A and B are shown apart, each in its own frame.
Chain A
Amino acid sequence: MTGTDYCKLHDHSPDKAYDALFREYCDYVHAIIFNRLRSVASREDIEECVSDVFADVFFGYDAEHSSENDMKGFIGTVAKRRAISVFRSITARQNHLSGDADDEMANMSSDTDIEAESDKTETQQLLMSKIKELGEPDSTIILQKYYYDRSSGEIAELLSMKAATVRMRAARALDKLRALLTGSGITL
């Protein structure tokens, strides 16, 4: 959806514009937020953050400077900033509660290892490509179960399958993925 499309729709009906924008970018925003907060926030926190992002976008999108460009870039930026903000807030609170000064110092002293970051990015992309090689619905099941930490029942409901089927496919897909990754010289 372009900025112009959104503004036209908004002028006609703000609610429809919000709904359309949300429909199109909800999964994208959730992916960004979840990716950043996965290890520190609860599922509810993540949903809360996603709702904050859309509230930011709904409220803050400048119609006067809308463009023909896809709004994905704008929304992605808002989502990343919001995710970082929430991440800092949560980790700061956790650090405050733990009172572990040594951990804090260790975090402060850690510099970004560019080489390690580059390796990590390559590994991420390889992992994703191998997951895609599993084909559907196995790739979705694997990500749902091991990345999004969904239960077999939840995945079954989402994919309209039986929970037992999900469990069976997940186990088989995991073995297959492990083999694929080993073949590529990757061990997680």
Chain B
Amino acid sequence: MKDKRDFDILENADDIVLDELSGVPALAPGAKKRILSESKRKLYRRQRNAGIKHFKAADQVSGVERYSRPKWRIFAGIAACFVLAGSVTVTLLALNRGDKVPVKQYPTTPAAVTEESTTTSAEFSTDTTNSNEMYISPEMYENYSDTAVELVRKMHELDSISRGAVVNVDMEDVKSVTGTGTDAEIMTYYKVTDDRFKTMDDFRNYVADFIAEPYYTQVISHIIDTEVSSYTFREIDGQLYVRSYKDYSVRANDMVNEITGTPEVDIIDDTTFNFKVATTLNGEPQETSGIAVLVDGKWKLKEISTGASETETTASDEQTTNDPESDPYAGHFYDEVSQRCNIEITKSDSFDTDYTYNVTVRWSSSAFDTTEWTFSGQFNGRGVLSYTNCESKHYVTTSDDSEPQVTVDYSNGTGYLSVSERGDKTGFVWNDDNFAASKDCFFAKD
């Protein structure tokens, strides 16, 4: 055997030989990692072209700035509230009911996640990205985003707790404590009966669960530091007590924080990401930004701050949400094959809660003969909308000015609409189980 050329005989091998060859470890782990990363990058690019947007760290970094303008910090603010008597309070009603801070649910659909208007189309359209970049799939991005929402939600809850709200108490078990310094009046405390914390240590653990040092120390000191006479919690006879609302001047329910937007996430590395999310304080637009760090396998807040929103994000967000151009699926699509069929995809009225799209397919055999299919459903992670509720109607018009005769061909029809590719184009393919010709259609953006 002279050299490697003798092994050319193995080229164009059959399946048996290919199977045996595949058993030979031919790729180093580094090469495999590189190929997988490249595969995902290509996948995301296709999904993006198909309207299923993807995210990569570099894009997000370019679109999200560190939140650095002057702002008050929520929980530094809490401390100030304690010092300034009357700035914070809690309601008896809230104590009795153990009310939760109302927090809007954060929508996690692709449409909601993809408000990265700062990511330019030029960035998306170029394909010259360094393969060493960390690419973030939609799901990964969503996980970071969900984590940000959860951390902000917990912080809002702590905000309320620090004012004595949303804590279950036994109102029959009351202790009176005389304050010192500027708070020299008699303060009333109720015994905490909350399952989350029965002792100071429980409360510390509760806070430490989502706030990392050194921010933890800063926050906790404002709530239970014994040096602060007006602290919210106090241990009396080994039991945990919370200060009565009567000692505050502002109703807790008048300090309502809500998450109203979709977090923008800036992934720094495996253990750190920044986020920014639109919130409201008593209905006033705010922006909350923070840094999350991974500590012992758990994401915690390294810092968080909230300030008045610099832009009218609410209005523009609504406009963006309702704009079909900003939605990965909604719009009007035209069948390039038959050239007589089109699809209109719109968000349903309940889209904000169930992400349902309404789809109408119209096939015009002639000016007087049209068939219409209507169905609805949700796109899954692979861009496939399966349906079981299709109604097919046949419209026949006998003259220009007559009302069409409508015949319902069938109801509860099944099939699917799926993102697909034809050459360089990305659009939809349709497969209705009752209409065989649907398989031949390819719908491109009109």
User: Interface of A with B (CB < 8 Å)?
Assistant: 10-11, 13-15, 18-19, 22, 26-28, 30-32, 34-36, 38-39, 47-48, 50-55, 58-64, 76, 120-121, 123-125, 127-128, 132, 139-140, 143-149, 154, 157-159, 174, 177-178, 181, 188
Find A146's partner among B7, B23, B138 (CB 8 Å cutoff). Answer: B7
- Known interface pairs A15-B137, A157-B28. Does A22 touch B39 (Cβ–Cβ under 8 Å)? yes
- Known interface pairs A39-B8, A39-B11, A123-B9. Does A59 touch B24 (Cβ–Cβ under 8 Å)? no
Q: Give every chain B residue within 8 A of A139 (Cβ-Cβ).
A: 24
C-beta contact mask, B16-29 vs A, less than 8 Å → 1, else 0?
11111111111110
Q: Give every chain B residue within 8 A of A148 (Cβ-Cβ).
A: 24, 26
Q: Is the pair A124, B13 in contact by a Cβ cutoff of 8 Å?
A: yes
Find B43's partner among A47, A58, A124, A157 (CB 8 Å cutoff). Answer: A58
B380 at the binding interface (Cβ < 8 Å): yes
Q: Give every chain B residue within 8 A of A188 (Cβ-Cβ).
A: 1, 6, 9
Given A59-B46, A63-B380, 14 extra CB contacts under 8 A: A14-B137, A14-B139, A18-B39, A18-B40, A28-B19, A32-B18, A35-B10, A38-B11, A55-B39, A59-B47, A63-B384, A76-B15, A144-B26, A146-B6
- Known interface pairs A76-B15, A124-B17. Does A145 touch B4 (Cβ–Cβ under 8 Å)? yes
Q: Give every chain A residue within 8 A of B17 (Cβ-Cβ).
A: 121, 124-125, 128
Q: Is the pair A174, B40 in contact by a Cβ cutoff of 8 Å?
A: no
Q: Give every chain A residue within 8 A of B69 (Cβ-Cβ).
A: none
- Known interface pairs A27-B23, A47-B31. Does A52 touch B42 (Cβ–Cβ under 8 Å)? yes
Find A59's partner among B12, B38, B43, B380 (CB 8 Å cutoff). Answer: B43
B36 at the binding interface (Cβ < 8 Å): yes
CB distance from A54 to the nearest CB of B (A): 4
Q: List 14 A-B contacts (CB under 8 A).
A: A15-B139, A26-B35, A32-B22, A34-B26, A38-B8, A39-B8, A51-B35, A51-B38, A51-B42, A59-B46, A64-B416, A76-B18, A147-B21, A158-B28
**In the assembly, what is the distance between CA of A140 and CA of B20, in Å?**
11
**In the assembly, what is the distance between CA of A148 and CA of B16, in Å?**
18
**In the assembly, what is the distance between CA of A149 and CA of B47, in Å?**
36
User: Interface of B with A (CB < 8 Å)?
Assistant: 1, 3-4, 6-28, 31-32, 34-36, 38-40, 42-43, 46-47, 137-140, 380-382, 384, 386, 416, 418, 420-421
Q: Give every chain A residue within 8 A of B140 (Cβ-Cβ).
A: 15
> Main SS of the interface on chain A?
helix
**In the assembly, what is the distance between CA of A123 and CA of B13, in Å?**
10
- Known interface pairs A10-B381, A26-B35. Does A132 touch B20 (Cβ–Cβ under 8 Å)? yes
CB distance from A148 to the nearest CB of B (A): 5
Q: Is the pair A158, B22 in contact by a Cβ cutoff of 8 Å?
A: no
Q: Is the pair A11, B380 in contact by a Cβ cutoff of 8 Å?
A: yes
Specify the chain A residue showing the minimal Cβ separation from B31.
A47
Q: Is the pair A36, B20 in contact by a Cβ cutoff of 8 Å?
A: no
Q: Is the pair B27, A27 in contact by a Cβ cutoff of 8 Å?
A: yes
Q: Is the pair B20, A128 in contact by a Cβ cutoff of 8 Å?
A: yes
**In the assembly, what is the distance between CA of A13 and CA of B13, in Å?**
36
Q: Give every chain A residue within 8 A of B138 (Cβ-Cβ).
A: 14
Specify the chain A residue showing the minimal Cβ separation from B8.
A39
**In the assembly, what is the distance between CA of A64 and CA of B414, in Å?**
12
Q: Is the pair A47, B137 in contact by a Cβ cutoff of 8 Å?
A: no
Q: Is the pair A47, B26 in contact by a Cβ cutoff of 8 Å?
A: no
Q: Is the pair B418, A62 in contact by a Cβ cutoff of 8 Å?
A: yes
**In the assembly, what is the distance between CA of A47 and CA of B23, in Å?**
17
**In the assembly, what is the distance between CA of A22 and CA of B47, in Å?**
19
**In the assembly, what is the distance between CA of A132 and CA of B21, in Å?**
11
Q: Give every chain B residue within 8 A of A36 (Cβ-Cβ).
A: 11-12
CB distance from A5 to the nearest CB of B (A): 15
Q: Give every chain B residue within 8 A of A174 (Cβ-Cβ).
A: 1
Q: Give every chain B residue within 8 A of A143 (Cβ-Cβ).
A: 7, 21, 24
Q: Give every chain A residue within 8 A of B386 (Cβ-Cβ).
A: 64
Q: Is the pair A64, B384 in contact by a Cβ cutoff of 8 Å?
A: yes
- Known interface pairs A10-B382, A39-B11, A127-B10. Does A27 touch B35 (Cβ–Cβ under 8 Å)? no
